[in-house]
Amino acid sequence: EVQLLESGGGLEQPGGSLRLSCAASGLIFSSYAMSWVRQAPGKGLEWVSGISGDGDNTYYADSVKGRFSISRDNFRNTVYLQMNRLTAEDSAVYYCARESGYRFDHWGQGTPVSVSS
């Protein structure tokens, strides 16, 4: 059974940094691209960033480009999201998702991020 478990969320001040992790199990991790999707309180889903299975290709939404960085460790079966220069607009639940066949077929339970002074 595929399981994705996010961690690393919490309360951070504006301008600060956080690193989210998503630990995967039950899959051949390096075979799958992974993405981060966020959802601000009471709002819809926003795709944030994606990374290819080998880690060579990364993609970002305009709203986070230059501030966020996605990476992965295929030995640890983990994908990361480094978030810098955080603003209140980055407050959201952050989900990691597995991409398979042009769709996100497995999701984690999410980790909440709150940016406030």
Q: How is residue 75 written in tokens?
A: 């030995």
Q: How is residue 31 written in tokens?
A: 């075979």
Residue (16 or 69) nearer to another protein, CB: 69
Residue of 18, 24, 108, 111 that binds another protein (CB under 8 A): 108
Interface positions, 63-92, toward another protein (CB under 8 A): none
Closest by CA to 99, choosing from 15, 1, 17, 4, is 4
What is the phi-psi region of residue 31: left when phi exceeds 0, alpha when psi lies from -120 to 50, beta otherwise? Answer: alpha
Q: Is 61 in the site for another protein (CB under 8 A)?
A: yes
Amino acid found at 24? A
Interface positions, 8-37, toward another protein (CB under 8 A): 33, 35, 37
For binding to another protein (CB under 8 A), which residues are involved?
33, 35, 37, 44-47, 50-52, 57, 59, 61, 95, 99, 101-105, 107-110
